[in-house]
Amino acid sequence: MTLLTSDTAYTALELSERVYSRSTLTVGPDAFYVEALPHKGEVHAAIAGSNDRKDWRDNFWFARKRFGDVRAQKRWYQRAEDFMMPLHEELLAYPDLKWVIEGHSYGGAAASCFAEIIQRVDTVVTFNSPKAFQKFYSPEAEDTIKNKSHHFINTADVVWLAPPRNKCFGNEYKRYIRGFGPEHSDFEKLGQIIHHYLGDRPAA
């Protein structure tokens, strides 16, 4: 299992929120925020979650299809294939850094699909994300995605339960935090889950 530090998790959360307003790359309907952090030995690529009606239509299209070693939610995986090359080219500029891919909601599912396609990805971090995969046909492929994936889940939200019959492959960090706002998009509550499992962020 790839070790996830609190610093990497907090950075992933910050960039998963930042991508909604400060994307550095856009491919079709998908937006990304890419930031290299050489002093930490990482480059992060955050994928934005759903932001229009077409995205939500894709989210509720639960058709699945086999793609090589995995049966995945069809539309999410196809979108990941669409943006695979441009995002991969962005990351290839940092061959000596650890590649961390993250995202909130659909962005997390897309990050999981990208990491399954581009196995060079070192770590995947998702936040209140639906489940991208139903089944792996190769034990090796399944172990690879399990070992590199970390899913932070506020169980007061329901999005993480979808799609029906899909499974969560990877390490889960779950906590029930109910508030007065929409639990699905409350990044402060997600930060509380990181703190609960991994502790404070190290001092700079």
Considering only CA atoms, which of 132, 127, 125, 131 is closest in space to residue 148?
A: 125
55: pLDDT strictly greater than 60:
no
What pLDDT score does 204 carry? 72
Is the distance from CB of 80 to CB of 117 less than 8 angstroms? yes
Residue entry with tokens 């925020």: 33
* DSSP-derived secondary structure letter, 97: S
The burial of 21, by beta-carbon neighbours within 10 Å (0-12 exposed, 13-18 middle, 19 or more buried), is given as exposed
Considering only CA atoms, which of 132, 160, 114, 126 is closest in space to residue 73?
A: 132
Mean of the pLDDT values across residues 139-157? 97
What pLDDT score does 53 carry? 53
Domains of the chain, each with CATH number or no CATH: 6-198 (3.40.50.1820)
What pLDDT score does 58 carry? 59
Instruction: Output the six-digit token pair for 48.
Output: 């934005």
Q: How confident is the model at residue 203 (pLDDT cuts 50, 70, 90)?
A: confident
Cα angle 60-106-27, degrees, rounded to a multiple of 5: 110
Considering only CA atoms, which of 34, 163, 168, 37 is closest in space to residue 101?
A: 34
Q: How far apart are CA 43 and CA 103, in angstroms?
A: 14
Mean of the pLDDT values across residues 69-91? 96
